């Protein structure tokens, strides 16, 4: 079991549930990276990058792909490939693009987000989309894009639901971008391929460094025109990279070895949720590889101290904490967090 002391704490960490981004490349993945055939990707001469782009584009049923350094960069060029300066895009209130990407679309592209309210599972409706589109008027920005996310805080947005949202957007001539940072989680949970969702949208950002366990990278897929615009935007943002096939090789390895195993993360999250289900006063919501845990407000601070003392890290937000299972969480660590919660509340 990995022992470390992140975030400045002097306590040994026995289980880190903060995010599926904290995974480390396996030995076999590192071997694949070291032996990758590479070239200068700015000249479009890196064969491993090209292989990754083409493979993910084919998996999504799209014409082209573009390797980028991060999901944030991939979403940014995806959104801006559809929006000009002063254009508006519609987006869920809890979306990562809106809340956790530093306002890049507005700051760097002058694209204006219009938030749509969501329910407890981060869903909104086709009618919400229709109502948010601005009528043609000199006083209003021009609505050009609907930005979606799947999973949304772990919750799967079904193929039919995404299709209904995209259909409403098409009624008004909008393009549709999908932040698919955890789309493979949704695909494994739903038992369908990622192309089922991609068929309804213009561009999809596919992250490799979350559940798939690569150390870096996302691929934006879409039609050739959109990816062409995104390619220029990537260069503008300083995202042109050279012998980046060493990193792309990690993504190819992840697609070969780490997609189906996402079901293990979902099962472990479900196991933890089941283990906590009998604790009085504790609210637990399980969604794919995420757990949203709300303790009694008066117990929150003491519970955090107790978990830290047991060597457990999570996103200890108040009032609701988030626990994320991933490649580096095993059954022993899943049992550890259940035991820690049980001991705390038995003694409270």
Domain endpoint, select from 200, 227, 257: 257
Do 194 and 54 belong to one domain? yes
Question: pLDDT digits over 171-226, tens only?
Answer: 999 999 999 999 999 999 999 999 999 999 999 999 999 999 999 999 999 999 99
**β-strand 283-287 against 290-294: which pairing, if any?**
antiparallel
Do 276 and 337 belong to one domain? yes
Whether the per-residue pLDDT at 1 is higher than 50: the answer is no
- Print the domain residue range for 209: 36-257
- Give the pTM: 0.94
Question: pLDDT digits over 278-292, tens only?
Answer: 899 999 999 999 999
Do 168 and 188 belong to one domain? yes
Find out whether 117 and 129 touch, Cβ atoms under 8 Å.
Answer: no
Is residue 2 included in any domain, yes or no? Answer: no
Is residue 31 included in any domain, yes or no? Answer: no
Is residue 30 included in any domain, yes or no? Answer: no
Question: pLDDT digits over 144-173, tens only?
Answer: 999 999 999 999 999 999 999 999 999 999
User: How is residue 95 written in tokens?
Assistant: 């979306």
Find out whether 197 and 159 touch, Cβ atoms under 8 Å.
Answer: yes
Do 42 and 142 belong to one domain? yes
Do 232 and 319 belong to one domain? no
Domain endpoint, select from 221, 237, 257: 257
| Structural domains counted in the chain | 2
Domain endpoint, select from 214, 234, 257: 257
Is residue 71 included in any domain, yes or no? Answer: yes
Do 160 and 181 belong to one domain? yes
pLDDT at 4: 44
Question: pLDDT digits over 96-114, tens only?
Answer: 999 999 999 999 999 999 9
Do 237 and 278 belong to one domain? no
Do 239 and 151 belong to one domain? yes
């Amino acid at each position: 079991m990995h022992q470390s002391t992140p975030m400045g704490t002097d306590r040994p960490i026995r289980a880190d549930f903060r995010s599926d981004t904290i995974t480390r490349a396996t030995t076999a993945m590192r071997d694949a990276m070291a032996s990758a055939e590479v070239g200068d990707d700015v000249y479009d001469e890196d064969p491993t990058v090209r292989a990754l782009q083409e493979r993910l584009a084919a998996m999504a049923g799209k014409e082209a792909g573009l390797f980028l350094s991060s999901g944030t960069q991939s979403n940014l060029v995806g959104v801006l490939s559809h929006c000009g300066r002063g254009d508006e895009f519609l987006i869920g209130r809890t979306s990562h693009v809106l809340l956790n990407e530093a306002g890049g679309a507005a700051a760097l592209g002058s694209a204006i987000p219009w938030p749509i309210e969501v329910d407890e599972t981060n869903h909104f409706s086709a009618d919400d989309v229709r109502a948010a589109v601005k009528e043609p008027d000199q006083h209003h920005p021009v609505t050009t894009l609907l930005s979606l996310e799947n999973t949304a805080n772990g919750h799967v947005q079904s193929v039919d639901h995404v299709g209904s949202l995209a259909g409403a957007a098409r009624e008004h001539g909008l393009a549709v971008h999908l932040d698919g940072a955890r789309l493979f989680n949704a695909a494994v949970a739903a038992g369908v391929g990622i192309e089922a969702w991609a068929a309804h949208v213009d561009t999809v950002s596919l992250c490799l460094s979350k559940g798939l366990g690569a150390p870096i990278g996302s691929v934006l897929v879409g039609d050739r025109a959109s990816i062409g615009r995104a390619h220029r935007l990537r260069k503008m943002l300083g995202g042109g990279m050279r012998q980046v096939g060493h990193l792309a090789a990690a993504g190819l390895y992840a697609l070969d070895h780490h997609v189906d195993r996402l079901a293990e993360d979902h099962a472990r999250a479900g196991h933890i949720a089941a283990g906590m289900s009998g604790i009085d006063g504790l609210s637990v919501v399980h969604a794919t590889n995420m757990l949203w845990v709300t303790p009694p407000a008066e117990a929150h601070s003491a519970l955090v101290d107790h978990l830290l003392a047991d060597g457990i890290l999570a996103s200890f937000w108040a009032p609701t904490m988030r626990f994320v299972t991933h490649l580096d969480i095993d059954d022993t660590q899943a049992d550890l967090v259940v035991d820690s919660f049980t001991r705390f509340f038995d003694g409270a």
